[in-house]
Amino acid sequence: MSLSARVRIPAAARAGEVIEIRTLVSHPMETGFRVDSFGRRVPRNILTRFSCHYAGREIVTMDLRPGIAANPYLAFRFVADVSGPVELRWEGDQGEVLTEGGHIEVTGA
Amino acid sequence: MRRWLLTALLLGSAVSAEHAERQSGYALLGDELRALQDDDFANPGMLWVDAGERLWSQAAGPDGRSCQDCHGDPTSLRGLANRLPRFDADSERLKNLDTLVRNCREQRQQAAALPHESEDLLALTTLIAHQSRGLPLDVTVDGAASAAFEQGRASFERRRGQLDLSCADCHERLQGARLRGETISAGMINGFPLYRLTWEGLGSRQRMIRWCNEAVRAEPMNPDSQGALALELYLAWRGRGLTLETPAVRR
């Protein structure tokens, strides 16, 4: 399937609230260790890096490895302190880049 | 003799259940996989539902028509997938969800055929079956469909392959027994198309039937053949009343 993502980014939060971003992305995550029915090595094709920027700061980065199953689900929590954009970015072996974004509106001090 | 030995091996110390229970494969899942299936965000099968929604409104063929143009919203097809396969009186053939989508694609849209188990076909069939989630399997097996139904029942009972096992040997008579690390399921098809961790992807009912045939080292069936569809009809009848779970998650 073509590279696509499901993301859930809260639209609003109170200052200091712990919020969660959930992501699910379609990707084969081919390990590179398997052979096909003709005995040929199937080339590695995985997502190698994930990052999340929130209000201009990098808050999460992750190096992905061949041991991660197809269609990786990633979720993480952090403290919402200021309003700002969220940018999620996946990078893969074949040079593919997928970005998804959102905006979190933080109210109260 | 060989078959008896194998049956004894499969049985282990478990007791044979003579009468199969209509039990969704969901009952055999651990807590984590149940949670995964129940979570409409994290369920990986929902990636195909999303893809299906994108395809639904995408024009194809010389007239540039999309599924949306004829059928409207996908919700209009609620109550379809749980009644399939069905016997089509005009062509005197059984049709399952794959047949219907493929026919629509080739004859109505006059677009390029969607191969079996292709991502696009799975996306559309999963989207359509997902609309009927929660509805009970309810196929028609009398009247014009009765001959096909009996063919399917006979196929279910027929021993096949190098292991000389029938579907019923395992999924009825040994249901609930252990096969190495696995509990033998009731062989219900109410979750398809479903996300199977073994496949790291989605598969149709016919893919599972093919997988089963290969597991007993039998020749796989052609998914378009009336024999394969008759077996699917019988399987759907066996699970009558179970609710559709598409997209289910299984090991």
Q: 3-state DSSP call for residue A81?
A: coil
Q: Which of A20, A23, A26, A27 to mutate to test the interface with B (most CBs of B within 10 A)?
A: A26
Gap from A70 CA to chain B (nearest CA, Å): 6
The residue extents of the domains of chain B are 2-38+138-250, 46-131
> Given a cut of 90, is residue B133 above it in pLDDT?
yes
> Quick check: B5 pLDDT over 70?
no
Average pLDDT for A82-86: 96
Number of domains in chain A: 1
Q: Is 50 exceeded by the pLDDT of residue B12? A: no
Partner-chain residue, chosen from A1, A24, A70, that has the shortest CB–CB distance to B41: A24
Q: For residues B133-151, give the mean pLDDT.
A: 96
Side-chain half-sphere exposure of B141, counting CA atoms within 13 A? 20
Residue A85: which region, alpha, beta or left (left: phi > 0; alpha: psi -120 to 50)? Answer: beta
Residue B198, Cβ density class (10 Å: 0-12 exposed, 13-18 middle, ≥19 buried): exposed
pLDDT of residue B249: 97
B101 touches B122 (CB < 8 A): no
- Give the model confidence (pLDDT) of B195-207 as tens digits: 999 999 999 999 9
pLDDT given for residue A2 in this prediction: 80
Superfamily of domain B46-131: Cytochrome c-like domain (1.10.760.10)
Contacts of range B89-93, beta carbons closer than 8 Å, 24 or more positions apart:
B89/B144, B92/B144, B93/B226, B93/B229
Distance from CA of B197 to the nearest CA of A (A): 9
Q: Quickly list DSSP for B134-175.
A: TSBP----SGGGHHHHHHHHHHHH--BTTTTB-HHHHHTTTT
Same fold, B2-38+138-250 and B46-131: yes
Give CA torsion, residues A60, A61, A67, A68, to 10 deg. 50
Interface of B with A (CB under 8 A): 41-42, 44, 46-48, 50-51, 119, 123, 197, 200-201
What pLDDT, in 10s, does the model give residues A6-57? 999 999 999 999 999 999 999 999 999 999 999 999 999 999 999 999 999 9
Partner B, chain A 44-83, Cβ-Cβ below 8 Å: 69-71, 73
Look at residue B3 in the predicted model and tell me its pLDDT.
54
Residues B199, B90: Cα–Cα separation, whole Å: 37
User: Which CATH number is A52's domain given?
Assistant: 2.60.40.10
User: Between chains, do B44 and A1 touch, taking CB under 8 Å as contact?
Assistant: no
Separation CA B220–CA B160 (nearest Å): 10
DSSP-derived secondary structure letter, B82: G
> How far apart, in whole angstroms, are the C-alpha atoms of residue B101 and residue B104?
5
A37 in reach of chain B (CB within 8 A): no
Mean pLDDT of chain A: 95
CATH for B2-38+138-250 (3.30.1330.20, 1.10.10.10, 1.10.760.10, 3.30.920.30): 1.10.760.10
Burial category of B246 from C-beta neighbours within 10 Å (exposed 0-12, middle 13-18, buried 19 and up): buried
Beta carbons of B44 and A71 less than 8 Å apart:
yes
Lowest mean pLDDT among B7-21, B131-145, B175-189: B7-21
The reported pLDDT for the residue numbered A48 is 97
What interface predicted TM-score (ipTM) does this complex get? 0.90
- Cα A56 to chain centroid distance, Å, stands at 17
Are B244 and B190 a contacting pair, CB within 8 Å?
yes
B147-158 per-position pLDDT tens digit:
999 999 999 999
Q: Which two tokens stand for residue B197?
A: 């961790």
